[in-house]
A and B are shown apart, each in its own frame.
Chain A
Amino acid sequence: MDSQAIATGAANAAEHHAHPSYQRHHFETEGQQREAASLGMWVFLLTEIMFFGGMFFAYLLYRNWYNPAFVEASRQLSIPMGTANTAILITSGFFMALGVWAAEVRKRNLLVLFLILTNIFGCAFLGVKYFEYKEKWEHKHIPGIRYSIEEFMHPLKNANGTTELEGAKALPQDIAQQTEMFFFLYFAMTGMHALHMIIGIGLLVFYTYGAAKGKYTNGYVMPIENFGLYWHFVDIVWIFLFPLLYLINRHG
């Protein structure tokens, strides 16, 4: 080693003592590291918006083209289940926000509790989603694999002659076929959203483990904060999916 390198090494060692252990060597200050990580997360979320954007664009296009078919197809989705899921997801997001707060005020047990609650509600969302998908399977509304337009041409009737789904109208065959497009997009969008949830839940387990060891309650809030951003982003995607897929034009 030449003298220069020794000098650098010594300077680094001196800096090392002045900074918290979680500060990476290439950052000048802890604040810089935190700001960099936070900006990085926001930029990543921007790419996520663009990723979902392509599907939202396709949805809006086809909704315009095939409006009657989309209205009838969206009637198949269960508003109670969708509403319940929205509530569940918002609750999960609420606990996530509390988790960030707990990390900031350095309360380890609270942080672990809130992360577990976040996770439970996240899993509950997926559970409800499972029953929704299962119902689609039973009604043969899985596009490409198991699809039948029967229920759109001849809506299911109750014993008293009213339609089982309120306001359901029979569609002629050519329009009924367009309902498959709705379900393509429904499964692509909610499936991609669910995939993000699953990734998030995996990460949550990892962070809960770290939190239990006290990693994030010594001032190193950044990972929890950034994961919170991700989790809220996934919530927001659902906040857009729910009205677009379930609610609008239901009675049109």
Chain B
Amino acid sequence: MSATIISLPDQSTARLPKVNYLNKEHGLLSWLLTGDHKRIAMLYLISTTFFFVIGGAFAAFIRMELLTPAPDLMTSDTYNKVFTAHGLIMVFLFLVPAVPAIFGNFLIPMMIGAKDLAFPKVNLLSWYLYMVAGCLMLGTIIFGGVDTGWTFTTPLSTHYVNTNVISAGLGAFVAGFSSIFTGLNFIVTIHRMRAPGLTWFRLPLFVWAHYAASIQMILGTPVVAIAIVLVALERTIGIGVFDPAKGGDPILFQHLFWFYSHPAVYIMILPPMGIISEVMSTFSRKRVFGYTAVAFSSVAIAVFGFFVWAHHMFIMGISNYSALVFSLLTMLVAVPSAIKIFNWTFTMYKGSITFETPMLYAFGFIGLFTIGGLTGVFLGVMGTDIHLTETYFIVAHFHFVMVGGALMGYLAAIHFWWPKMTGRMYPESISKLAAVIAFVGFNLTFLPQFMLGYMGMPRRYHAYPPEFQVLNVLSTAGATVLGIGYMLPMIYLVWSLKYGKIAGDNPWQATGLEWQTQSPPLTENFTEIPIVDHDAYDYEWLAHKTHREVTSVG
């Protein structure tokens, strides 16, 4: 389909709707007992941001310690606790829940033309479980911390450390159930609540990506839950399923743990991939190239994601033959990931591209995720993995995917849907600056870590030989820049709540159903349930619709 040039609407006449989901009811209780998916999304937005700041503070401590080769800021024990806290908070309380629970929650019902998720109370329960998990994690850190790393690896976690493993494990367990309920809600909603005419292949790719991620949440998370329960039982009453002295096998824990935790990285990256599809299409004014391929590649990633877990264990004593198979399967995941990257690039080809902030973040995503993904292939190859595993190369690789990929996607989303969520625009020029700062800071932080890892600097140590200092200083400097890049949006987005320009219904002229209603939306989203008679990303339909529609009412 050829690109359609659409002029953005004149926002000077836009007014905030008098009644919307934000002001329908008042008072703290109306928020804490709400069933509205949009309000729950806002609760998640506030709480995940809170934990992101804490996790970020721990990252800052790590980088400060690594500024100099000598261990001068903290002892090795403290350092272990700091990087564990960073990992636990960022993985379980930010990366896994953030995009699905904020944007999935807010947007899936709107995108499919439903009034709410299928189970609003379960949705609220998810948030409370998330908060319980958050309190457990905070309690763990305040009352002495935990130093197993976020992976709870046995026998370290069961025999050799005497820190708060149980409360941290319980936190991960509860966070897991929060994520299971979110995934369950999404799956049922997408199956059963679609508006008339909205067939599977008319769904926005954002919905497909969340569907794939939800499948992983419901299939993977229970397995890590039981693994963590067994670790807790081993610590408390001496059950020995992972204890070699009693005939148990610590490697079994790793199998059970990574059976979830590898799919978990796709739970973190698939929803942001859905965001990128939306943003790419909107700012290229063109249907996503190869819609069906992109949709199925999400499902393929979800399926392959379950058969690659042992690549985390190549050096841990699994048999060479299974390592070979897992190595091959790991490289297969690169195929659907590449399908996405190529299709997004082709989407831009001959599109009418504009460079709004979400698009800049999306560009950042594509570049950084490609690097992160390709270095993942290095690590999937057994020979290089044995050299590079447990070094900073791994750290750089997964930060490229998780921060360069998932977090860039998250930032793209928050800018893209901010007008819909709040009814107001973010300030455009400073946000562009923030996007560039984050990109530069990110690369400065993590590119040196690839080199450090390749030269052999191990991860999880608080001291290192002096010859690694130059690159570490660069990395710490980059982290400072990156920190500014993250702090800016927090400041100007809050500022825009009061002073931002009024956005109007559809400031980007995007095609999704969520844009065809007022911003911020009504409590039940639509005045009448839409009937869908067109494909996703049909800009001609939108142009036609806008043409016919009366744009202002007296």
Contacts and interface: CB of A to CB of B under 8 A. Distances in A.
Interface of A: 1-2, 4-5, 7-8, 11-12, 24-28, 32, 35-37, 39-40, 43-44, 46-48, 50-55, 57-58, 61-62, 65-66, 143-145, 177-178, 180-181, 184-185, 187-188, 192
Nearest to A50: B222
Contact of B240 (A36, A51, A184): A184
Contacts of A55: 226
B230 interface: yes
B522 interface: yes
B223 A184 contact: no
Nearest to A24: B120
Interface in B137-168: none
A25 B192 contact: no
B193 to A, nearest CB: 7
Contact of A1 (B18, B226, B227): B18
Please provide the 8 A-B residue pairs with the shortest distance between their CB atoms, ordered closest to farther.
A144-B238, A51-B222, A26-B116, A26-B115, A54-B226, A50-B222, A36-B192, A36-B118
Contacts of B220: 50
A46 B218 CA distance: 8
Contact of A144 (B180, B240, B527): B240
B241 A58 contact: yes
Contacts of A28: 529
A177 B246 contact: yes
B191 A2 contact: no
B247 A48 contact: no
A39 B219 contact: no
Nearest to B230: A188
Contacts of A2: 17-19
A4 B18 CA distance: 10
Contacts of B252: 58, 61
Contacts of A53: 222-223
Contacts of B115: 25-26
Interface string B399-442: 00000000000000000000000000000000000000000000
B524 A47 contact: no
Contact of B238 (A4, A57, A61, A145): A145
A180 B219 contact: no
A10 B122 CA distance: 28
A114 to B, nearest CB: 27
Contacts of B226: 51-52, 54-55, 192
B247 A178 contact: yes
B223 A144 contact: no
A44 B184 contact: yes
B474 interface: no
Contact of A181 (B116, B221, B237, B247): B247
Contacts of A47: 180, 184, 218-219, 221-222
Interface string B168-195: 0000000000001000110111011100
Contacts of A8: 522, 524, 527
Nearest to A187: B239
7 contacts: A43-B184, A53-B223, A54-B259, A62-B247, A143-B238, A178-B247, A180-B246
A144 B219 contact: no
A66 B223 CA distance: 23
A43 B116 contact: no
B290 interface: no
Interface string B80-121: 000000000000000000000000000000000011101110
Most buried by B among A50, A55, A188: A50
B219 A26 contact: no
A50 B223 contact: yes
Contacts of B249: 61
Contacts of A12: 524
Given A40-B184, A144-B238, 6 more contacts: A1-B18, A26-B524, A36-B189, A46-B219, A58-B256, A184-B239
B340 to A, nearest CB: 26
Contacts of B187: 39, 43
Contacts of B225: 51
Contacts of A144: 237-240
Contact of A7 (B119, B247, B527): B527
A180 B256 CA distance: 21
Contacts of B529: 28
A54 to B, nearest CB: 4
Contacts of B218: 43, 46-47, 50
Contact of B223 (A4, A27, A54, A177): A54
B248 interface: yes
